[in-house]
Structures are given as structure tokens and as C-alpha cells.
Structure 1
Amino acid sequence: MAAKEDFYKLLELDRNASEAEIKKSYRKMAMKFHPDRNNDNPEEAEKKFKLVKEAYEILSDPKKRAAYDQFGHAGVDSSMGGGRGGFSGAENFSDIFGDVFGDIFGGGRQQRSSVQRGADLRYNLELTLEEAVGGTEATVKVPVLVACVECNGSGAKKGSSPVTCSTCHGHGQVRMQQGFFSVQQTCPTCRGTGKQIKDPCPKCYGQGRTQETKTLNVKVPAGVDTGDRIRLAGEGEAGANGGPAGDLYVQVQVKDHPIFTRDGANLYCEVPISFSMACLGGELQVPTLDGKVMLKIPPETQTGRMFRLRGKGVKPVRGGLVGDLLCKVQLETPVHLTKEQKSMIEKLGESLSGGGKHHSPQEHGWMDGVKSFFDKLTG
């Protein structure tokens, strides 16, 4: 009989390997020699797979490993349970297989819990800018699954109760033999709950939950913005088989405003300014979310100039300084002028250009600033 290969070498391990390293190496080697992955020579792969399994079974057991380290194969042969591969039947093999590969096949030894948390829900809430900045209370109606009041969520007709599943005997899983392997799967009869409803509730038809529309009051804090979420704990769908309810997330969407735009804590707006006020200065009434305020316009103000009104913006919902309102003035060109008004503007233009009616822009110096700007770009 040929000598057995050293278990450590078989699993490509150092003799001081930890338990985690042994399991990791076994996973790697078992996948490598899996018969389903070696269609060209499945019989040889199966033999190698059994050797790998045998090595793992010995080295993963502290007592067997100690005996193997001291006496080699002779120290563990009597405790192997017979057979070169160390199998004591398909059940023994599937236990090891499920322990290592349970995450791949959905098997393992854990029983699926019949109690399940309800799903989280999302509700899109549209707010005006005023509501978002100042805070508000909104009433929302949400279609949601709730625990059936007739059967208290059990799914069974009043006076009865669910019984243990006859297929899986309450485990929620059944063992399926697939060729060389035995794999656990969710029970097709009870769908993993371990229970069967022989006499279903007439209101929920055995589901334990019914569809209803909830009416909820949502307190919206001041300063929220598009993308913010408000969590209402326990207002989502009811859980299955008495499980806890999920949560409701209210997603905020702020509608466009006809005057203001928002950037973080600051607000922006544009206000028209007359030609005379731009030239001579004065006071201009501008809107804010708190009402109108007077803004002082200095003489010779150019169109596009930005004025800052401190503290007239938004107080952030998560704390911090109140933002500002930034007003951009835009020169308003007068329309529908009378002959007299046109004559006055012509006289003003002549006065500004030095008294001549037909001077070109270059002659009265209007283009000097433009030329100097382009000189900087090309210089």
C-alpha cells in the first residue's frame, strides 16, 4: 500500500497553521478538486477530494491533530471510522461540506427563522422652498402591509393555529441528494418557515398581513433640502410571522422657486434696477423669505453686481450659521419710450460722448476698456 501523503503538505499548510488558515486552505483545495469542476477526470478528482477532506477532518480537530503531530498517520488511523477517505456515510460528508460551503449552496446547519422583519418603505415628499426652510408638518398617505387584525398576523383562521410542516418537520429546510453531494435547500412546502397553515384566515388568506393605507403626520424640521430623508421607525411593512415592522423613509424633494435658488445655506435672486438708480443710487425694495427689505444701491452701480444680505438665507438642519441672501442686480432697459423720453436720452448720450451726435465708439473712448481686456488676453 502506498504511503499516505502528509496532511499539511496536502493542504499546503505550515505545521503552525491556525484553525482559520486550515479552513481557508481546505475551502481552496476542495474547490480545486471538486468532481464537478474536473469533468476530464472526475474519478481521480473524487479521490483527491476525499484525501483533502480527510486531512481537514484530522487537522481541524485539536485532539486528532495533536495525535497526528506526535505519531503521524498511525496516531489517527484507529479514530478515522474506517475507509481511506474517512467517510462514515453521506451524512458525515455533507456535514463537513455544509460547514465549509454553506454560503455557496445556501445550506449549512442553520435553520431559517420563520420570523422576518418587514420591508422598509420610501415616500417622496414635495415641499415648497418656504416649507423646507421654515419647517412644516405634512400629512402623508402610504399604502402598506399591516398585521391582519382578524388572525393577529398568524395567517390561521381564528380559533386555530399553524402546525409543524410535515415535509421538513419544522426545520424549514430539506436535504436534497444531488449525485455525490447532499445539499440543504429551503423547504418547498412551508418556504422555510417550518409551519403549515391548514385552515387559513379568510381575511388575509393565510398571509398574516393585509394591504391598508396609513395616514401619517410627518414633522419636517427647518432647513431640510432635496435629498434629505426623514426616518419614521416602525412605520414600514409589518413583519412576517410576528416579526418587527420595517421603517418608512420620507425622501424630501424641494420644488423650484420663482424667485430664489438655493445653494447650501445661501439663497440667490436677481432683482431689476432702473438706469437712473444705477447711475444715481438709491434704495431698492428686495424680497426675502421673511418679507421685503430695503437694499441701498450706491451710485454708478454696474449691472451684475452682487449684494449680500447677511442672515437672510437658510439655517442648516444639522446646525451651523444661518446663510445669506445674495442679490444680483440687473439693469432694466426701459421700453415703450415717448418721443420726449427718447429725446432726453439722446441728449444724455450726446452729453456723455462729449456733445457729438455721430461719434463712433472708438472716437469717444467707449472701446478703451474692451481693447485693454483683449490686450491682456493676447499679450
Structure 2
Amino acid sequence: MAFIDYYKVLGISKTASEQDIKKAYRKLARKYHPDVNPNDKTAEHKFKEINEAHEVLSNAENRKKYDAYGEHWQNAEAYEQAKQNQEYQRRAQARSGGYSEQDFSDIFGSMFSGGSTRHREVKFKGHDYNAELQLDLKEVYTSHKRTLTVNTKNIRITIPAGVENGQIIKIKGHGGQGINGGPNGDLFIQFSIINNTKFKRDKENLYTTVNLDVYKAMLGGELMADTFDGKVKLTVKPETQNLTKVKLKGKGFPKYKKEGQFGDLYITYQLQIPTNLSEKEKELIKELQNLR
């Protein structure tokens, strides 16, 4: 396989910052995404290269290896270990004269293709992939299945209810292909949860405000309020004060990987003062004021 310059793929320099890498990746991924370029093999190949480049360069440790070893970056640890072993054997030879230069070549070469057949090739795990998945808050209220396209491969996953913004889950074995029969790498998915609702989320608990007219606040009564999955009837106590909080147990968000368990919904009453009062209303309010 020909060497791919990941910096060139993303159109950035070797001194690019993490933000530069992320910005370049997002721009190119949108341009060459298979959904935007259906049945376009060239765009499909380009999209795969862009993902590979991002997966390596967005990881500080992998980027360091890539800068040092280029196309052999996945075998960086093996190279370092081989060098250490070679140095150790050289010192041993100096003391005992037990090894030849050919022996050293075999020791080092056995770790990669083309090495001596007297040594077993070392197996390496494939490199891990990283992906970001954007979802609306409503989409993670229930568990559901989603098909992702990673390096042109479709992967069917189940997204558990209650996934949080920024949370990362691992899909084992869906990363890069292993080397010399080694295991595949893993796929790490980071969730970006967009909240377009009137509810504020804090883990499994939800928070919202409900408008309460002054008459119902003083006299008490009933009102309908929105929860995340429908409406409920609330009983308002007489003489309820502004910013009073009530808790609706079990009406919050699903608890992650705890089937059937939910957090709580906290409602804050926001008192609404009437406007555009009629003369009659003003007289009655003044009368009430005098009584107080």
C-alpha cells in the first residue's frame, strides 16, 4: 500500500493545532461525505482517506508516532522494542562474542514482514478509530438503533437511552484491521447532544419553568404542564409564591443503561402579573389592597 501523507490529505501543515485539524476534517468530511456524493467512488475513497487522517492526527499519541515513523507509525512500539533488544544483544556480543551481524538482522527483521523464517512475526492490534455522532436530546430519550458509516463500512449499533453529551462509548473490533493476524482496533464514538427543548438536563434530572397566573397562585387550583413525554395535571396550593419549586418524581430523563429507571422533573413556578387592567379590575384590586 502506498504511503499516504495525512497532513496533505487534510490540507494542513505539520505544525497545525488540534483545532486546525478538527476544522479541516469537518470541512472536508462534509464535502466528500457519501450522502452528498452518492455512487461517487472517487469521493468515497477521498472520504475514507480523510477519516483515516483525522483518526491518526487527532490523537496526540498517535500523531507523535506518525511524525516519527510515518507509514510505520502503528509499529512504533515494536520498532522501539526491537532497537532496545538489538542494543542489548550487541552488548551481549561484546561481552561474549555469541552473535553475528546476521543474527541481529534476523532479530530485528522478525518483527516485520521479510524477516527471518526462524522467528515468528509479531501480531499488532489495528489502530483505533474515533467518530463523533450528533443527536437531538429527544433522540436519546429512548434506546434506538442507528447505522453509522465508518470508512465506507456500515455499522449497526444500539444507542442506549440516557446517553450524555460528550460521552464516549467503545464498539469493540470496529477499528483498523490488525497486522499479522492481530486483533482489529476499536471504534470510539463521542456523542454531541443538541438540546432544542425547553427542558434543562442535568444527568437524569430535568428542569423547566411553568407560568402561573396570580389568581391561581393566590387561590390555588389546577393547571396542565408539559413533561418530556406528555402533559400532566398539577395541583397548585393556595398562596403559592413566585419561584416555588415542585418535584415530579420519575418524570425526568432515563438513567443510562438502567432499564425503566428515570430521574425527576423539577418545575419552577413563574408568577405572571396581569397587564392591561380594566377600571373595574383596578377598583377590585384596590379594594383588596385596603382589606390587607
Question: Does the alignment reach a TM-score above 0.5?
Answer: yes
> Are 2:136 and 1:136 equivalent residues in the alignment?
no
Amino acid at match of 1:327: I
> Residue 78 of structure 2 corresponds to which residue in structure 1?
none
* Contact persistence 2:174–2:187 (CA under 8 A): yes
Query: Alpha carbons of 1:119 and 1:337: their partners in 2 closer, same or farther (altered >3 Å)?
Result: farther
Tell me the matched-pair count.
192
Amino acid at match of 2:274: P
Alignment of structure 1 residues 1-379 onto 2, 5 Å: 86=95, 88=97, 111-114=110-113, 116-142=124-150, 144=151, 213-240=152-179, 243-319=182-258, 321-352=261-292
- RMSD (Å) for aligned C-alpha atoms: 3.4
Query: Alpha carbons of 1:346 and 1:246: their partners in 2 closer, same or farther (altered >3 Å)?
Result: same
Rounded Cα–Cα distance in structure 1 between residues aligned with 2:95 and 2:248: 83
Rounded Cα–Cα distance in structure 1 between residues aligned with 2:278 and 2:148: 56
Query: Alpha carbons of 1:121 and 1:276: their partners in 2 closer, same or farther (altered >3 Å)?
Result: same
| Structure 1 residue 302: Cα displacement | 0.7
| Structure 1 residue 113: Cα displacement | 4.0
| Structure 1 residue 287: Cα displacement | 1.0
More helix by share: 2
Rounded Cα–Cα distance in structure 1 between residues aligned with 2:110 and 2:281: 90
Structure 1 SS opposite 2:141: helix
Aligned-residue identity in percent: 35
| Structure 1 residue 242: Cα displacement | 5.6
Amino acid at match of 1:334: P
Amino acid at match of 1:266: N
Computing the radius of gyration from Cα coordinates, the structure with the larger value is 1
Amino acid at match of 1:226: N
* Contact persistence 2:207–2:267 (CA under 8 A): yes
Scaled by the length of structure 2, the TM-score of the pair is 0.55
* Contact persistence 2:160–2:257 (CA under 8 A): no
Amino acid at match of 1:118: G
Rounded Cα–Cα distance in structure 2 between residues aligned with 1:347 and 1:125: 61
Amino acid at match of 2:194: K
Q: Gaps (5+ residues) in structure 1?
A: 1-52, 58-80, 96-107, 145-212, 353-379
Amino acid at match of 2:275: V
Rounded Cα–Cα distance in structure 2 between residues aligned with 1:86 and 1:261: 71
Amino acid at match of 2:156: N
Deviations 1:96-141 (A, max 9, x none): xxxxxxxxxxxx8684245543221122122222222222222323
Scaled by the length of structure 1, the TM-score of the pair is 0.44
* Contact persistence 2:161–2:257 (CA under 8 A): no
Query: Alpha carbons of 1:349 and 1:111: their partners in 2 closer, same or farther (altered >3 Å)?
Result: farther
